[in-house]
Structure 1
C-alpha cells in the first residue's frame, strides 16, 4: 500500500469517539518527535510553519512553504499532509506537481483569500481541477471558512462542504466550527470531517463523539512547545 493509500484508509471506518489524531509538526525535529511517539500520520499547519520560519501567518513565500513541507516529509516514514493555504494562486497543475515533489500525500486548501470568502461554486470548480490533475495521488482536505470569515451559519458551511465533496474533496474542514454545531455538520456532510482541537475545548475523544473524523491542532502544539521553552529560558536566567 502506498503512503497516500495508507493515509486515505486512516480516515475510513472511524468509530464515534475514535477520530484520526494528526499532530501538526512545524519542522523536521518536531515531525520526528510525533512520528516516534507512534502517530500514524502528520499534518503540517501553515501558521505553525510560518512562525517557525519567522513570518506572520499567511505571509510565507510559497517556495519557503514547500521547502519546509519537504523537510518534514523526508524526515519521517509516515504520511504527511501539508497546509498550503489557498494554493498561492498557482494553477492546479503546478500546485499538484509542487506538492508531490515535497513528498506530501495530502493537502489543506482553504476557500478564502485575504480574509474574504471565495465564491463556493468557483472554489468547487477549482477543487475539481485539482482532483482531476492529482487523481488518487493526493488526499484533498477542503477547508470551509464560514466560521472564520463568514457569518458562522452552519447551513452555509454545509452547502459549501457539499459542493466541495461533489467536486472530489476527500475531507472537509469547517475550521473553528463551535463544538455544539458539530452534530449538525456531521448530519449534513458526507465523508470525513476535520475538526480543530483547542487546549481549553472538548477533548479529541469528545469531538469524535460529536462527529469529527479527524482532529488537527493548527499552530496549537507549536504554541505549547514555545511556552515550555519559555519556561526553560526563564529557569536558565535564574541559575
Structure 2
C-alpha cells in the first residue's frame, strides 16, 4: 500500500530536477522548514544526537525511530529517517530497523554501509549489498510503501575511490534500493560521475566544496535530491557559542544575534 506522503516523496525524485530536503533536528525546526515551503524533510543523526547532549552515533534504534516518528507526526510533508547503519552489523539488524521504521508515519529511510569500526570503517561490498538486500526485502514485505536509500560512506572516511563507489551504488540498486547516496563527494565532477554512472535517483550531501554550487548546477549534473545533513543543526547550535561572552566579558550583546530571523519563522510554530 502506498500512502499519500510516500507517493508524494517518490514523485519528488527526478534526476536532473533535484529538490532540497533539509534536515530538522526536532519538531519545532521541522514545522519551521515545512512552513518555509520545503516539500520533504529528513532527520539527521548528528543533529538529533546534539538535542540529547550526545555525539553522532550516540543514539539507539528505538530513540532514532521514535525521533523520526515525532517529526513525521509534526508535519504534513513526507519525512525520511536517518537510520544510520541499521543499528547493527548483520543484515537482520538492517531489516529489523526498516520494519520498525515502517510502523511509523515515515515515508522512507536510509541505511549506511559503515561498520562503526575505525580500522575498517565500511563493510566489504558483498556484506554491504547483503545488508541492503535484507533492508529492501523488509521494505517490500511491509503493508505500506517505504522509500529505501542506500548509502556508500567511503568518501566520508577518506577511503573513497569514485569507480568503486559507483560500482557499489549500482550493486545497491540491484539489491533493491530506491535512492542512492554517496555522502562526502569531493567536487562537482564526482557528482556528475555518480549521477551518470548509476541507474537510480541520486541524493547529494551538500558539504565542503559542494556548498559553493547552486541547485541549477546540481540539476545539470543529474542529481535528484539535495540534503544538508547536520548542517542546519550545527549552525543553530553554533549560535550558543556567542553566550560565552556573558561569562568572559559580562555582556549580553549576543542576545540580539538572529533575533530578527527568529521572529520571521515563529509564525510556523504551534500555539
Aligned: 1:188 with 2:202: no
Distance between the aligned counterparts of 2:238 and 2:46, measured in 1? Answer: 16
Distance between the aligned counterparts of 1:132 and 1:37, measured in 2? Answer: 36
2:129 is matched with 124
2:230 is matched with 219
Distance between the aligned counterparts of 1:234 and 1:35, measured in 2? Answer: 33
Q: Which runs of 5+ in 1 are unaligned?
A: none
Distance between the aligned counterparts of 1:142 and 1:189, measured in 2? Answer: 13
1:145 is matched with 153
Distance 1:91 1:198, change over 3 A: closer
Q: Per-residue deviation at 1:232?
A: 7.6
Distance between the aligned counterparts of 2:207 and 2:233, measured in 1? Answer: 13
Q: Which runs of 5+ in 2 are unaligned?
A: 256-271
Distance 1:132 1:30, change over 3 A: same
1:35 is matched with 34
Distance 1:168 1:63, change over 3 A: same
Secondary structure of the equivalent of 1:172? strand
Q: Per-residue deviation at 1:102?
A: 2.9
Is contact 1:81–1:105 with CA below 8 Å preserved after alignment?
A: yes
Secondary structure of the equivalent of 1:117? coil
Indicate the RMSD between aligned Cα atoms, in angstroms: 2.2
Secondary structure of the equivalent of 1:109? strand
Is contact 2:153–2:182 with CA below 8 Å preserved after alignment?
A: yes
Aligned: 1:7 with 2:9: yes
Greater Cα radius of gyration, structure 1 or 2: 2
More deviation, 38-47/179-188 = 179-188
Is contact 1:161–1:189 with CA below 8 Å preserved after alignment?
A: yes
TM-score when normalising by structure 1? 0.90
TM-score when normalising by structure 2? 0.80
Q: Per-residue deviation at 1:92?
A: 4.7
Distance 1:100 1:234, change over 3 A: farther
Summarize deviations over 1:147-196 as a string: whole Å, max 9, x none: 12353210010110010000010111111011221111122111111111
Is contact 1:127–1:169 with CA below 8 Å preserved after alignment?
A: yes
Secondary structure of the equivalent of 1:102? coil
1:87 is matched with 86
Q: Per-residue deviation at 1:120?
A: 1.5
Q: Per-residue deviation at 1:228?
A: 4.1
Distance 1:227 1:165, change over 3 A: same
2:182 is matched with 174
1:99 is matched with 101
The count of aligned residue pairs is 236
Is contact 2:154–2:165 with CA below 8 Å preserved after alignment?
A: yes
Distance between the aligned counterparts of 1:92 and 1:45, measured in 2? Answer: 18
Secondary structure of the equivalent of 1:212? coil
